[in-house]
Structure 1
Amino acid sequence: MSAIVDTAGRRAYTVQVGGMTCAACAGRVARTLTKLEGVTATVNYATEQAHVVCTDDIDPRMLIDAIERAGYEARRVDDTAATSQVGNTLAQRAGDLRRRLVVAAMLAVPLADLSLALSLFPELRFPGWTWVCLALAAPLVGWCAWPFHAAAWRGLRHRTATMDTLISIGVLAATGWTLVVMFRGGPVEPGLGAGWSALARAGDGLYLDVVAIVVAFLLAGRFFEAQSKQRAASAMRALLERSVVDVDVVRGDVVLRIPADRLLSGDLVIVRPGQTIPADAVVVEGRAAIDAGAVTGESVPRDVGPGDAVVGGTRDVDGLLVVRTTRVGADSRLARMARLVESAQTTTANAQRLADRVCAVFVPAVLVLASGTFVGWLLAGNPVATAVSTAVAVLIVACPCALGLATPTAILAGTGRGAQLGLFLKGAPAFEATRSVDTVVFDKTGTLTEGRMQVAGVIPAEPGGEDELLRLAGAVEHGSEHPIGVAIAAAATAAARVDDFTVVPGAGVSGLVEGRRVLVGRSAGTPLPAGLAVRRQALETAGATVVAVDVDGSTLGLIALTDLPRPDAASAVATLRGLGLTPLMLTGDNARTAAAVATDVGIDPADEVTAEASPEDKVAVVRRLQQEGHRVAFVGDGINDAAALAVADLGIAVGRGTDAAIDAADIVLGRDDLTAVAAAVELARRTHRTIRWNLLWAFGYNTAALPLAASGLLTPLVAGAAMALSSVFVVTHSLALGRFRPPPPTPPREQ
């Protein structure tokens, strides 16, 4: 069992739950856990995991004991291996079902052929043919159908009923009635009666062949369901399996071969061509092309050299690198993104909550309906065989599995496909919010622009003061993580010590350098001299970002920086417009620079840009848009964007952004490609549509199938096929998300 302590002092656990066979099982496990004081739980039927949040005084063993008392198996899940354990469990389940299905098919086919031949040609019936049918059917009813019987027995011992209860009762009832027919004497007909007319109506006969075919159908449905769930979870598992087992680490003058899980932050690691980079790192020596496709979805390898950052899980294509690790283990970007996906797969959509409530009462209601059907057909004067056959059809055709699979399989497939494309969606809320988003608000610096600002000019108030101006500004900005501060600090050649460093929200940074108070920011502490004001306006009109430097209340000069728009920004904006979304830009930069960048990327500077916005202003703009009836998505990457990301209906964080932005967002872009915003929006929309269609099918199937079965229009054979196909339909429909292709980039409109 894994445990993580959250900020509220509560603990979060993940438990693998065995023995769940339908959504009713998942609902029972969830209700059992939430009955414990201080415990809240969600249970994912698709991944067969329970995610529990509880107070510190809850002993984890209590959770496992509660699940086991409810009739299910429970075992611990390690944080680092949760996804792999899900995959292993699903693989084992699929293997067991495959074996039972093969045996069922080998017995059901000859049994059905024999029954059909004896039905069409009565003269072929030989003495003891009924015992031959029984010999072929016995392993089917016993060993092949054992998973249904075992689950039904567990439920009976714990006074509950599941989908397997319906199947087991139906199979045993049909088999029991067949034995009654065999031993009571008199003429006996094969179960298929007068040829294939049994497909249209129920009738008398030996129903062993029908039971065999029904069991084979049900096992086939369960097998394809397990196999499809395994495929849906495979994308994230393949991503995690890119982790390295052993690495070569430089320790002093010695190169040591150590397990990757013993890596420390700051270690020097040698990465050879063809090897996978074991952790987030910075290149120290060497140059190589890096294939990041499996992690970010980027199709073209990226060249890296000394000073470039590389992500764990990416592959060195053609060069020898020495890298210094920056984040290892659970702190690495790959592990963080994996946790996002795993968390997303535990969420529940609003529509699914309704389905879960239906599943909680569905099985008891079907048992009542089947009993009423049996009694009703007897009271109507029909033979006992017909009443039994009709009641069995009602039991078998009922399918809460499709309801339970509607949301989890779609989220599994959607998040898995997103991980392949470098798009990490945090769960059902993201899918639901994206459906109604009509406005996308972009931060400018680092989002629409490269985020790699460079000093383009130093304009001192007094001639000859360039070096001193840059030295003092660089000393203060040395402690800043803002792109402007990093660029100024990099351009300053001489170092100076700064004390009392302070961030002035929306204005800049301040500090004491050599006893003087230095303020660097968008707004100077004092009015600019006329000459500097004219230069500033000209630079900003040309698209530069200009900051003023004050020393002890006097303006020392200006520093101009340039940050070019991303090459894909204009195409990304045009693609979003093609999806029916309105792009806007919010920035703390000045209005003239903002207008120049907006024009370059295809955003109207007059109506779609808000400049000189503080973090509080960004939040206010998002809320104003929401009050006007818009559903707002915000795209950002910095600490100052975290509040707006949290307030927006949909927060989208650029993956290379700050931890605060990533934590606040609903969608994280792992790709350094702004067109991924449109891809993420379209994938979320497609996934939500898949969930809705799955639920519509599941509700519609049961609404139509149960009355048909109760009225005698479906035989057990047809009912078993329909029940199996309903679950298979939901799962295969969800798996279609694995073929999702991002919308093609739209050429930017001409300015």
Structure 2
Amino acid sequence: MNAPANFSRETVSLAIEGMTCASCVGRVERALKAVPGVLDASVNLATESAEVRVAGPVVRADLIRAVESAGYAIATSTIELAIDGMTCASCVGRVERALRAVPGVTGATVNLASERATIKGSADAAALIAAVAEAGYDARPVDRGAAANAEAEAQKDGERRILSRDLALSAALTAPVFVLEMGSHVIPGMHHLIASTIGMGTIWLIQFVLTTLVLGFPGLRFYRKGIPALLRAAPDMNSLVAVGTLAAYVYSLVATFAPGLLPAGTVNVYYEAAAVIVTLILLGRMLEARAKGRTSEAIKRLVGLQAKTARVRRDGAVVEIEVVDVAPGDIIEMRPGERVPVDGEVIEGESWIDESMITGEPIPVAKASGASVTGGTVNQTGAFAFRATAVGGDTMLAQIIRMVEAAQGSKLPIQGLVDKITMWFVPAVMALAALTFGVWFVFGPDPALTFGLVNAVAVLIIACPCAMGLATPTSIMVGTGRGAELGVLFRKGDALQGLQDAKVVALDKTGTLTEGKPTLTDLVLADGFDRAGVLSRVAAVEAKSEHPIARAIVEAAEAEGLSLPTLTGFDSVTGFGVTAEVDDIRIEIGADRFMARLGHDVSRFAQTAARLADEGKSPLYAAIGGHLAAIIAVADPIKETTPDAIRALHALGLKVAMITGDNRRTAEAIGRSLGIDEIVAEVLPDGKVAAIKRLKALGAVAFVGDGINDAPALAEADVGLAIGTGTDVAIEAADVVLMSGSLKGVPTAIALSRATMRNIRQNLFWAFAYNAALIPVAAGVLWPVAGILLSPVFAAGAMALSSVFVLGNALRLRGFKPSMA
């Protein structure tokens, strides 16, 4: 679909890939200048971009083709559009087809629940918006930021208010029509009373006036959208309502003003059907709009966590400024109870901060100089100052919002079948309605015309592609939103579907099962020695080493407030240990073989050494002044939440594996203590990938890691889960991010995935079963066997409730609670 994207004397910007030298620049410039309508082209190698001045309408696709014909490529980008006017799954399919037909588009997905389209490729926004308009809908670029979100929310609130107003008007006009018509059939004597006083002719005229007002004002939206769509041979939900209500209305008009045109016995009016149908569908749409608003409440809450102002030090004073004006490097002062405005690093003071909005963990976290703080979290007790390190769209909260929005807008593989069916659903319903009318008209009892009309209208009205279109995206929106509240971020929507199929959860050890930082775990003393004296002397020696084990001993001494004595004569014996003089006392530290070499008997610690070995710890010995003083163990402690998380995974029926580069003895000891089913030890990063490939023989594999060396394994797994406190590389390679840094997020993510997919299947079953069961009933299949026909009024009510049921079922996910809560 070639829409003129640029007009007289405009400048078009293109991002170009593949240029390596000045010759490339020249080739691209010549190719662009050769396009008719191009006045000039300037290509910049450093920025890999081209600025093209054009005169007259130039199609952007022609410029792209020129660049590609020269052997280069246009860089792809992602554009988000807000789409107005979609009402059902058929609308989604039409908008997607229109967008994919735009030159330069490589992919387009449309979400009915969020009313947004995500387009990848090199097409510009103007061409995409024009394509959507040609398909019969309105589109506008999605503007990010708090102000834009507030404006979008205000617009939706305005639309809901208009819908409520139209519903109230429609209900007020419909009520008399319904009472006059249906009351005559239900209330004994009412028909005779009306006929003998006002007269049926007058009653029909009153119904005509009121119904005309209903269709012409609150119901006009269905005709404005539905009739043009029908004329484009692309009928949608509005088309079904428009054709159904117009059929009932026009038939009633003929019966009222030209009854002689109808066969004898068929002169009836169906004004109440047309009016009630419009009112009930407006009711359904209003309930649907309210429920849709609740599906995105997680995003609204996240946006609401963004602070509006910040107290910043400027020119020797503290001034309060808008948070959008905060720049990296600014010093921001915090008082108790205030919300942290941006990400930063504490430089003064200390406090406790509630980080539950990021991690899902309710316990406040201590912050002191050097600690990082996150925008949106709440300062609890103390006052402190911090330096801004990330502002605006670079803050963690902004990134979380983008991740959640991306996941909510994605399509799961399960949606593919739904899309194929719904593309043909509305035309099939219209054909079935026509067939229903024909069969009743030819084979039905008298008055055949009346029976044919009523049943055809019922078929048109009861069909509900809305429920089909909303079944998947609403569950995704609520499920991913609830996950964000629990500290589980689905970076990719299809991870929701993939995670439910996981049979094996493979875990990295360091930083995932363990704290990722060696600490002193055991210091067992020989008789005659005290802890402070031994630890301070040993730490003084180890302070000369950069080994992680040495660092852990030094930190333990510092944590206990011990001062380190003066060290002299340090010597390292490769493969054995170290010796040094501390206050003229000889200190010797090393493995058992080093102690044996020095003539120290370690047998007195044999029982302790055996216990440490069983726990996967490698013991060190310390001798002071020629006497064996202590046995020491340093290990990476298991996170406090890890055992419960492993038990929760087993409770979910999953096999748990550990993949680590650590030595086998340590890995097996940890595995035994945690009840891990399979242990793969002493592997390099590529070995982790090979291990995951082997584990896939048992079923789908979810891998959990946190380090740079875990990135290949995260990418290889069916679903990769990154610990959010880990590296950016690991997080980028993962499908799911666990913000708390705790393994508790893994069973939560899997349980939430299963709950969401179960919810989607329930919605799809309802949507398809509803249509499969009630469309034949509306067509009259029960008439020959039970004498049952479905009134168009009841059909309208059932259709409205169908969408509301799907949305209400999806909203149940807001109450999801993790098993480890």
Higher relative contact order (CA 8 A, sep 6+): 1
Q: Structure 1 pair 331/490, CA: closer, same or farther in 2 (3 Å)?
A: farther
User: What does the per-residue CA deviation read over 1:529-588, in whole Å, with 9 as the maximum and x for residues that have no partner?
Assistant: 9438999997765544799xxxxxxxxxx9974321111111111111111112221222
Query: CA–CA distance in 2 between the matches of 1:487 and 1:54?
Result: 51
Q: Give the one of 49, 69, 87 matched to 2:116.
A: 49
Q: Is the 8 A contact 2:519 2:637 kept in 1?
A: no
Q: Which moved more, 1:94-103 or 1:640-649?
A: 94-103
How far 1:130 sits from its partner (Å)? 1.7
Match of 2:759 in 1: 690
Match of 2:27 in 1: none
Q: Structure 1 pair 86/365, CA: closer, same or farther in 2 (3 Å)?
A: farther
Match of 2:801 in 1: 725
One-letter amino acid of the counterpart of residue 112, structure 2:
Y
Tell me whether 1:443 sits opposite 2:512 in the alignment: no
Tell me whether 1:414 sits opposite 2:479 in the alignment: yes
SS at match of 2:296: helix
Query: CA–CA distance in 1 between the matches of 2:277 and 2:553?
Result: 74
Tell me whether 1:702 sits opposite 2:765 in the alignment: no
User: What does the per-residue CA deviation read over 1:199-220, in whole Å, with 9 as the maximum and x for residues that have no partner?
Assistant: xxxx973211222221111111
How far 1:331 sits from its partner (Å)? 2.0
Gaps of 5+ in 1: 194-202, 459-463, 478-483, 494-515, 520-527, 548-557, 746-751
**Residue correspondence of structure 1 range 94-493 to structure 2 within 5 A:** 94-119=160-185, 120=187, 121-125=190-194, 126-127=198-199, 128-156=202-230, 158-185=232-259, 205-251=268-314, 253-380=316-443, 382-383=446-447, 384-454=449-519, 470-471=543-544, 473=546
How far 1:413 sits from its partner (Å)? 0.8
Query: CA–CA distance in 2 between the matches of 1:470 and 1:94?
Result: 68
Query: CA–CA distance in 1 between the matches of 2:459 and 2:329?
Result: 65
Query: CA–CA distance in 1 between the matches of 2:216 and 2:757?
Result: 41
Q: Structure 1 pair 317/111, CA: closer, same or farther in 2 (3 Å)?
A: farther
Match of 1:13 in 2: 79
Q: Structure 1 pair 487/209, CA: closer, same or farther in 2 (3 Å)?
A: farther
Match of 2:669 in 1: 596
User: What does the per-residue CA deviation read over 1:486-542, in whole Å, with 9 as the maximum and x for residues that have no partner?
Assistant: 96998999xxxxxxxxxxxxxxxxxxxxxx9x99xxxxxxxx994389999977655
One-letter amino acid of the counterpart of residue 131, structure 2:
A
Match of 2:687 in 1: 617
SS at match of 2:698: coil
How far 1:388 sits from its partner (Å)? 1.2
Q: Which moved more, 1:302-311 or 1:652-661?
A: 302-311
Q: Is the 8 A contact 1:281 1:324 kept in 2?
A: yes
One-letter amino acid of the counterpart of residue 243, structure 1:
Q
SS at match of 1:572: helix
Match of 1:509 in 2: none
Query: CA–CA distance in 1 between the matches of 2:214 and 2:710?
Result: 61
How far 1:644 sits from its partner (Å)? 0.9
Query: CA–CA distance in 2 between the matches of 1:676 and 1:249?
Result: 36
One-letter amino acid of the counterpart of residue 497, structure 2:
E
Q: Is the 8 A contact 1:442 1:635 kept in 2?
A: yes
Q: Give the one of 720, 745, 750 matched to 1:681.
A: 750
Query: CA–CA distance in 2 between the matches of 1:445 and 1:83?
Result: 40
SS at match of 1:473: coil
SS at match of 1:564: coil
Q: Structure 1 pair 226/332, CA: closer, same or farther in 2 (3 Å)?
A: same
One-letter amino acid of the counterpart of residue 682, structure 2:
E
Match of 1:669 in 2: 738
SS at match of 2:502: coil
Q: Is the 8 A contact 1:90 1:227 kept in 2?
A: no
SS at match of 2:341: coil
Query: CA–CA distance in 1 between the matches of 2:557 and 2:235?
Result: 73
Larger Rg: 2
One-letter amino acid of the counterpart of residue 90, structure 2:
A
Q: Which moved more, 1:126-135 or 1:25-34?
A: 126-135
**Residue correspondence of structure 1 range 519-668 to structure 2 within 5 A:** 530-531=593-594, 542-544=615-617, 561-600=634-673, 602-604=674-676, 608-626=678-696, 628-668=697-737
Q: Which moved more, 1:447-456 or 1:242-251?
A: 447-456
Q: Please give the TM-score of this superposition, normalised by the length of structure 2.
A: 0.76
SS at match of 2:87: coil
Q: Is the 8 A contact 1:418 1:424 kept in 2?
A: yes
Aligned residues: 672
SS at match of 1:688: helix
User: What does the per-residue CA deviation read over 1:52-86, in whole Å, with 9 as the maximum and x for residues that have no partner?
Assistant: 1112xx33211111111211111111243576566
Q: Which moved more, 1:610-619 or 1:221-230?
A: 610-619
One-letter amino acid of the counterpart of residue 43, structure 1:
V
One-letter amino acid of the counterpart of residue 409, structure 2:
T
Q: Is the 8 A contact 2:506 2:701 kept in 1?
A: yes
Across the aligned residues of Structure 1 and Structure 2, the Cα RMSD in angstroms comes to: 3.4
User: What does the per-residue CA deviation read over 1:453-491, in whole Å, with 9 as the maximum and x for residues that have no partner?
Assistant: 346799xxxxx99868754637xx9xxxxxx89969989
SS at match of 1:349: coil
Q: Is the 8 A contact 1:584 1:603 kept in 2?
A: no
SS at match of 2:145: helix
Q: Structure 1 pair 73/28, CA: closer, same or farther in 2 (3 Å)?
A: same
Q: Please give the TM-score of this superposition, normalised by the length of structure 1.
A: 0.82
Query: CA–CA distance in 2 between the matches of 1:41 and 1:221?
Result: 29
Query: CA–CA distance in 2 between the matches of 1:576 and 1:242?
Result: 32
How far 1:50 sits from its partner (Å)? 0.9
Query: CA–CA distance in 2 between the matches of 1:5 and 1:541?
Result: 60
Tell me whether 1:735 sits opposite 2:811 in the alignment: yes
Q: Which moved more, 1:96-105 or 1:227-236?
A: 96-105
Query: CA–CA distance in 2 between the matches of 1:5 and 1:657?
Result: 33
Q: Is the 8 A contact 2:333 2:386 kept in 1?
A: yes
Query: CA–CA distance in 2 between the matches of 1:485 and 1:647?
Result: 35
Q: Is the 8 A contact 1:473 1:488 kept in 2?
A: no
User: What does the per-residue CA deviation read over 1:261-292, in whole Å, with 9 as the maximum and x for residues that have no partner?
Assistant: 23233322112222111122222223333222
Q: Structure 1 pair 546/158, CA: closer, same or farther in 2 (3 Å)?
A: farther
Query: CA–CA distance in 1 between the matches of 2:453 and 2:551?
Result: 79
User: What does the per-residue CA deviation read over 1:288-328, in whole Å, with 9 as the maximum and x for residues that have no partner?
Assistant: 33222333322333333333322211111232221222322
Q: Structure 1 pair 380/231, CA: closer, same or farther in 2 (3 Å)?
A: same
One-letter amino acid of the counterpart of residue 707, structure 1:
P
Q: Is the 8 A contact 2:125 2:141 kept in 1?
A: no
